[in-house]
Amino acid sequence: MADAAITVEGARKTFGGKHALDGLDLTVTRGTVHGVLGPNGAGKTTLVRILSTLLRPDAGRVEVAGHDVVREAYAVRLRIGLLGQHAALDEELGGRQNLELFGRLHHLGARRARARADELLERFELSGTGPKAVKQYSGGMRRRLDLAASLITEPEVLFLDEPTTGLDPRGRAEVWDSVRSLVGGGTTVLLTTQYLEEADQLADRICLVDAGRVVADGTADTLKAAIGGDRIDVVLRDAGQLGAAVALLPVAKDAVTVDTDRRLLSAPVIDRMAALTGVVRALEEAGIEAEDIALRRPTLDEVFLRLTGHDDRTTEAA
Partner 1 sequence: MSSTAYALTDSWTMTRRELARWGRRPAAVVVNLVFPVMLLLMFGYLVGGGRGVSGDYLDFLVPGMLALTMAFGLEGTMIAVTQDLDKGVIDRFRSMPMANGAVLVGRSAADMLQSALGLTVLLGVAAALGWRPQGGPDGFLGAVGLLLLFRFAMLWIGIHLALIAGKPELVQAVQILVWPVGFLSNAFAAPESMPDWLGTVVEWNPMSQTATAVRDLFGSPGGEPGHVWAAVVWPLALLAVFFPLAVRRFSRLSR
Minimum distance, C-beta of residue 107 to partner 1, in the bound complex (Å): 7
- Binding region for Mg ion (CB under 5 A) out of 30-38, 44-52, 150-158, 287-295: 44-52
Indicate which of Mg ion, ligand ATP, partner 1, none lies near residue 93 (CB less than 5 to 8 Å, by partner kind): partner 1
Report the alpha-carbon distance of residue 306 to residue 205 in Å, rounded.
19
By CB under 6 A, tell whether 46 contacts ligand ATP.
yes
- Binding region for ligand ATP (CB under 6 A) out of 16-24, 106-114, 146-154, 224-232: 16-24
Report the alpha-carbon distance of residue 26 to residue 117 in Å, rounded.
34
Helices (H) then strands (E): counts for the chain: 11, 14
Minimum distance, C-beta of residue 21 to ligand ATP, in the bound complex (Å): 8
Residue 147 and residue 102 in contact, taking contact as beta carbons nearer than 8 Å: no
Residue 196 and residue 297 in contact, taking contact as beta carbons nearer than 8 Å: yes
- Binding region for ligand ATP (CB under 6 A) out of 43-51, 120-128, 129-137, 237-245: 43-51
Kindly tell me which of 42 and 134 has the beta carbon lying closer to ligand ATP: 42
Neighbours of 288 (CB within 10 A): 17
Residue 3 and residue 29 in contact, taking contact as beta carbons nearer than 8 Å: yes
Question: Residue 52, SS3?
Answer: coil
Kindly tell me which of 45 and 178 has the beta carbon lying closer to Mg ion: 45
Residue 13 and residue 46 in contact, taking contact as beta carbons nearer than 8 Å: yes
Indicate which of ligand ATP, partner 1, Mg ion, none lies near residue 29 (CB less than 5 to 8 Å, by partner kind): none
By CB under 6 A, tell whether 318 contacts ligand ATP.
yes
Minimum distance, C-beta of residue 136 to ligand ATP, in the bound complex (Å): 26
Angle of the 95-105 helix axis to the 139-149 helix axis, nearest 10: 20
Task: Tell me how far CA of residue 308 lies from CA of 52, 102, 305, 313, in angstroms.
Answer: 28, 42, 6, 11
Q: What are the DSSP E strand ranges found in 162-221?
A: 188-193, 205-210, 213-218
By CB under 6 A, tell whether 14 contacts ligand ATP.
no
Query: Site size for ligand ATP, by CB under 6 A?
Result: 15
Kindly tell me which of 46 and 188 has the beta carbon lying closer to Mg ion: 46
Question: Which of 37, 38, 45, 50 lies at the binding interface for Mg ion (CB under 5 A)?
Answer: 45
Minimum distance, C-beta of residue 52 to ligand ATP, in the bound complex (Å): 13
User: Which residues make up the interface to Mg ion (CB under 5 A)?
Assistant: 44-45, 85
